[in-house]
């Protein structure tokens, strides 16, 4: 409970009540807090969140066009160009003409990219445990299922 300066009496925190009434506001605030934590973690790791997601998807599904990466990962196309440029410059991906559509490029993860992804994945469980420490394992699973349903 927060106290008011004027009366010195305890009162319920307003945001808790607002979050219960406005799930949209609560979800936006929670999303922003998690995004800040993810960005800070990414800065420590030296691999941006978008870069990590691109490497993870390429490792899982194989070569993709930048457009497919952008659509699947929900990263703006103009941002995706920069992400792929940075990954290519670091030697973690390569772009090659798409054999099925010569107008586009296929982005492919390299061995360097796989090693970088593996290193980044090592610290992920500890980051997630810290970020979601207020939730039990079951609550985290339920939250993941609910968010997947929303998305």
* Tens-place pLDDT, residues 40-57: 998 888 899 999 999 999
pTM summary value: 0.77
Whole-number Å distance between alpha carbons of 9 and 5? 8
Q: pLDDT tens-digit profile of 83-142?
A: 999 999 999 999 988 777 777 789 999 999 999 999 999 988 999 999 999 999 999 999
Query: 143: pLDDT confidence band, cut at 50, 70 and 90?
Result: very high
Structural domain spans, the chain: 47-150
Encoded tokens for 30:
């929670």
pLDDT digit string, tens, across residues 58-74: 999 999 999 999 999 99
Domain spanning 47-150 has what CATH number? 1.10.10.10
pLDDT > 80? residue 29: yes
């Amino acid at each position: 409970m927060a106290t008011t300066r004027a009366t010195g009496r305890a009162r319920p925190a307003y945001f808790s009540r607002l979050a219960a009434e406005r799930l949209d506001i609560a979800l936006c605030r929670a999303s922003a807090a998690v995004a800040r934590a993810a960005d800070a973690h990414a800065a420590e790791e030296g691999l941006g969140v978008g870069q990590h997601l691109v490497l993870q998807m390429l490792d899982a599904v194989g070569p993709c066009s930048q457009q497919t990466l952008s659509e699947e990962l929900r990263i703006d196309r103009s941002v995706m160009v920069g992400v792929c440029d940075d990954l290519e410059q670091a030697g973690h991906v390569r772009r090659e003409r798409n054999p099925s559509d010569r107008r586009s490029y296929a982005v492919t993860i390299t061995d360097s990219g796989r090693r970088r992804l593996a290193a980044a994945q090592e610290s992920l469980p500890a980051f997630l445990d810290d970020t979601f420490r207020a939730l039990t394992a079951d609550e985290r699973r339920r939250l993941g299922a609910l968010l997947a349903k929303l998305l």
